[in-house]
Chain A
Amino acid sequence: AQSVTQLGSHVSVSEGALVLLRCNYSSSVPPYLFWYVQYPNQGLQLLLKYTSAATLVKGINGFEAEFKKSETSFHLTKPSAHMRDAAEYFCAVSDLVTGGYNKLIFGAGTRLAVHP
């Protein structure tokens, strides 16, 4: 079965600093990988997704993630943090189930705090 591990339940950075949120996956086949963001008391929004077209994936709000097969990683980065980036971030892997549709397996999440 697929699984996702997010290292660090809480990450704190200064405004303007680099953001690095870590995600490792286990998959026996090439995976589809996603990063979602959740603002307080809201649902999840897609930041970006990897579907094997390119290893460096650019998403919304200045985020990007790099797929590294040798490390089974899909870490999320942003060069310069902004206060509005404070949220919870979830890495997810797509699990193929009967019928060919996508059941997502989510990591436990990383809460990002940005301080002035």
Chain B
Amino acid sequence: DGGITQSPKYLFRKEGQNVTLSCEQNLNHDAMYWYRQDPGQGLRLIYYSQIVNDFQKGDIAEGYSVSREKKESFPLTVTSAQKNPTAFYLCASSTQTYNEKLFFGSGTQLSVL
């Protein structure tokens, strides 16, 4: 089945630690995204990538980093600079067509120890 796989489902971060969230898709989509979800705030865009080896900052990129070395993969690193990392993180992908829908993974819940 085609889809988006996020791992792990739950992740815990210690003070000063960087952690990496995995996102893999087998939909052959060019565009991939990372969203952060906090209760009552909807989804906010962290980073997006339209093509391999290229990515752009979203609305809340500070304290995060990404890479896009392969079309299928778009890992997100939450760095120690992100002072409030506890949230639900969602990865998504889409074709390059303007009005096409996003396909979402099942998310990673990140908490601080």
Contacts and interface: CB of A to CB of B under 8 A. Distances in A.
B45 A103 contact: yes
Interface stretch (B66-74, B76-84, B98-106): B98-106
A100 B106 contact: no
A104 B102 CA distance: 9
Contacts of A74: none
Given A9-B40, A32-B99, A44 B104 contact: yes
B98 A96 contact: yes
Given A44-B90, A102-B94, A49 B106 contact: no
Interface string B43-75: 111001010000010100000000000000000
Instruction: Categorize the interface residue count of chain A.
Output: 20 to 34
Contacts of B105: 43
B36 to A, nearest CB: 11
Given A43-B90, A106-B43, A51 B99 contact: yes
A101 B90 contact: no
Given A34-B101, A43-B105, A46-B101, A101 B42 contact: no
Nearest to B107: A43
B40 A94 contact: no
Interface of A: 6, 9, 32, 34, 41-46, 49, 51, 90, 94, 96-97, 99-104, 106-109
Interface of B: 4, 6, 30-31, 33, 35, 40-45, 48, 50, 56, 58, 90, 92, 94, 96-102, 104-107, 109
